Amino acid sequence: MQFSFHQQRQDLKDAMSTDYILQTRDLTKEFKGFVAVDKVNLQVRRGTIHALIGPNGAGKTTVFNLLTKFLTPTRGSIHFNSHDITHEKSAQIARRGVVRSFQISAVFPHLSVLENVRIALQRKLGTSFHFWRSAKSLDVLNGRAMELLESVDLQSFADTMTVELPYGRKRALEIATTLALEPELMLLDEPTQGMGHEDVGRVADLIKRVSENRTVLMVEHNLSVVSHICDTITVLQRGAVLAEGPYEVVSADPRVLEAYMGTEHG
Amino acid sequence: MKGKHIGWIVLIAVGLSAPFLVYPVLVMKILCFALFACAFNLLLGYTGLLSFGHAAFLGWAGYVCGYGVKELGFSPELGILAGTATGAALGFVFGSLAIRRAGIYFAMVTLALAQLVYFLALQFPFTGGEDGLQGVPRGHLFGFIDLSDTMNMYFFVLAVFLVGFWIIDRAIHSPFGQVLTAIRENEPRAISLGYDVDKYKLLAFVLSAGLSGLAGATKTLVFQLASLTDVHWHMSGEIVLMTLLGGMGTVFGPIVGATVVVGLQNYGAELGQWVTVLTGVIFVLCVLAFRRGIVGELALLIKRSGIRM
């Protein structure tokens, strides 16, 4: 199972070995003289799961914020599908198909679970400015919303107020909401953070499942998750790329061991 | 859903019977402030934006309506439309500038702009300055309904209120309202789902300001007066109080809040300055102990007791 999945991925990678969905060139972010992200050249291959790892404060989340323009880069450029998106706005980038999640669970707590997913679906109807139209007009989306909830095992919670969901379920809902946009590239910021053991496994499986036909770039601390599902790993340290490659290569790199995994493996 | 229908029925029943039980002008005043508070709540309760400049829309709509009717010979319905348009136009200007900032800065920008137009109202000759615009005739609605008759005026105000309230209720429960709630609940997430949140906030602001204008213009016809009181920042504060007291983010809360505050001011008038102290105490109690407001706390009680709304 594990092997065939990796084999499939490998085939996919070979077929599109030079097809990069996302590239950055010398991406740099300075905060009043402090360089948080230092000339990062990231290349994310289409159809892969790519992990961004590194010790605390290495600049992983800052990179995410730059890629989705929640922060403006000081220098450098970002290219998605060969389009320069460096100067586009966050919402514009989202509409291009780059959809991110957040480190803390990003749900709408006082909407029902179904409504959370529907918010993502309703933009395509083009009626989101129609303040004179009944919200019942959104019911046509309920079928698709339920399908998405089923794909993350949340169908029985459809009418639950989201604030009442357990944490792991909220993360699953977040993934369903992101999937509703059918993103080409999903950016997941620590999807298993703060989760219990069984939830970690469930969410990792879920990510693997939904990554078919799309590309995932994720920040992740849990190395067992990274080693199981990720094809390529980029290690950041103090804002700069320290190493890059598949898990076997990166985990054997002495610089990485020293900077990051040394503490993990004792 | 069912609870909402009951709410509407109670609202209409009370609206139809109130002028026979209470002094009609007082009820009209309550209706105007209730509409104002509901419009404000669309922004505070459903979009999460605290404006501290809403008096500008109420007051300036009153001046434009009053001037149009008194000096330019507008019919009452045209005066009200002109006032509503004034509120919406001012809202567009205020909103465009203020939504670039969030939180306390948003509130400060709206307050600063409202102060600016307050001084304009004080200085412009057509507003009557300290005296205000007095003796605005109520005129004939659609040319044949004499609004100087108190009952005619009352039912006209009730109709205006119900139409305004229906628009707000619908906006809250529309595809647009869903996006507003999403923005209130988690703005970065709404952005990451591809929504240009500034455009949604601006439309909400313009809607809220326009409906505040509707309330202000109607109020001017009721009292036949447009004055500085309605553009003063005290008014912007009072509307926050009414909305919080009734229950922000609840459909009917602001109506209850407006009724309590206006009623208190009216019946507590013999207490003189002590009314202000009393309102202050109620406000503090509300913020400390009843954070959800009257309607919000009631809804919670009903939910806890297991009755489905």
A58-92 per-position pLDDT tens digit:
888 899 999 999 999 999 999 999 889 999 999 99
Percent helix, percent strand, percent coil in chain B, to nearest 5: 75, 5, 20
Rg (CA), chain B: 19
Pick from A57, A79, A72: which is nearest to A185 by CA? A79
Mean pLDDT of A180-188: 91
Where b means 16+ CB within 10 Å and e means fewer, A24-44 reads bbebbbeeeeeebbbebebbb
Which pair of tokens denotes residue B293?
Answer: 């407001």
Sign, Cα dihedral of B294, B300, B305, B307: positive
Of B175, B186, B194, the CB nearest to A91: B194
Looking at chain B from residue 141 to 180, which residues have their Cβ under 8 Å from any Cβ of chain A? 167, 170-171, 173-179
- Show the 3-state SS of B165-218: HHHHHHHHCCHHHHHHHHHHHCHHHHHHCCCCHHHHHHHHHHHHHHHHHHHHHH
Q: Work out whether the CA dihedral A28, A34, A36, A41 comes out positive or negative.
A: positive
**Coil, helix or strand for B272?**
coil
Q: What is the side-by-side strand order in the sheet with A240-245?
A: A98-100, A185-189, A215-219, A49-53, A232-237, A240-245
Q: Would you say residue A228 has pLDDT above 90?
A: no
Residue A178 Cα, gap to closest chain B Cα (Å): 7
Alpha-carbon span A104 to A99, nearest angstrom: 15
Where does chain A show beta strands of DSSP type E? 20-31, 34-40, 43-45, 49-53, 75-80, 83-84, 98-100, 185-189, 215-219, 232-237, 240-245
Task: Kindly determine whether residue A131 and residue B174, on different chains, have CB atoms separated by under 8 Å.
Answer: yes
Q: DSSP letters along B80-106, please?
A: HHHHHHHHHHHHHHHHHHHTTS-HHHH
Query: Cβ contact (<8 Å) for B178 and A135?
Result: yes
Distance CA A193, CA A170 (A): 12
Tell me what pLDDT residue B116 has: 94
- pLDDT of the residue at A265: 45
Q: At what angle do helices B293-304 and B233-246 cross, to 10 degrees?
A: 10
Q: Output the pLDDT for position B59.
A: 94
Cβ of B88 under 8 Å from any chain A Cβ? Answer: no
**Strand pairing category for A185-189 and A215-219:** parallel
Q: Quick one: pLDDT at residue B265?
A: 84
Low-confidence ranges of chain B (pLDDT < 70): 1-2, 306-309
**Which residue(s) pair with B145 in the sheet?**
B141
Q: How far is CA A203 from CA A97, A167, A187, B115, B216, in A?
A: 22, 12, 15, 53, 54
- State the amino acid at position B283 in one-letter form: F
Dist CA B207 CA B167 (whole Å): 9
pLDDT of residue A69: 92
pLDDT tens for each residue of A113-169: 999 999 999 998 888 898 888 888 888 899 999 999 988 888 999 999 999 998 888
Instruction: Answer for the pair B137, B224: CB distance below 8 angstroms, yes or no.
Output: yes
Q: Average pLDDT for residues A49-64, to the nearest whole number?
A: 88
By mean pLDDT, which of A12-16, A77-81, A109-113, A223-227 is the weakest? Answer: A12-16
Total residue count of chain A as it appears in this document: 266
Q: Taking every pair of C-alpha atoms in chain B, what is the biggest distance, in angstroms? A: 59
B203 touches chain A (CB under 8 A): yes
Measure CB to CB from residue A181 to each of B174, B175, B194 and give the nearest one. Answer: B194
Domain ranges of chain B: 23-233
Contacts of A133 in chain B (CB under 8 A): 174-176
* Per-residue confidence (pLDDT) for residue B142, from 0 to 100: 87
In this complex, the residue of B174, B191, B194 whose CB is nearest that of residue A135 is B174
Q: What is the DSSP letter of A112?
A: B
CB contact residues (below 8 A), chain B span 3-62, against chain A: none
A202 pLDDT band, cuts 50/70/90, is confident
CA torsion sign for B155, B158, B160, B162 is: negative
Neighbouring CB atoms inside 10 A of B240's CB total 20
Looking only at the bridges linking them, the beta strands covering B225-226 and B133-134 are: antiparallel
Which residue ranges make up each domain of chain A?
2-11+22-107+182-265, 109-164
Q: Which residues contact A77 (CB under 8 A, 6 or more apart)?
A: A24, A25, A26, A27, A84, A86
One-character DSSP codes across A125-188? GT-TT-TTS-GGGGGGGHHHHHHHHHHTT-GGGTTSBGGGS-HHHHHHHHHHHHHHT--SEEEE
- At A79, is the secondary structure helix, strand, or coil? strand
Look over chain A and give the mean of its residue pLDDT values, rounded to a whole number: 85
Chain A residues with beta carbon closer than 8 angstroms to that of B197 = 91
Among chain A residues, CA nearest to B189: A106
In CATH terms, the superfamily for domain A2-11+22-107+182-265 is: P-loop containing nucleotide triphosphate hydrolases (3.40.50.300)
Confidence of residue A204 (pLDDT cuts 50, 70, 90): confident
Chain B residue with Cα closest to A139: B175
Judged by phi (left if over 0) then psi (alpha if -120 to 50, else beta), residue B306 lies in: left
Q: How far is CA B197 from CA A93, B178, B204, B232, in A?
A: 14, 12, 11, 30
- Residue A13, pLDDT > 90, answer no
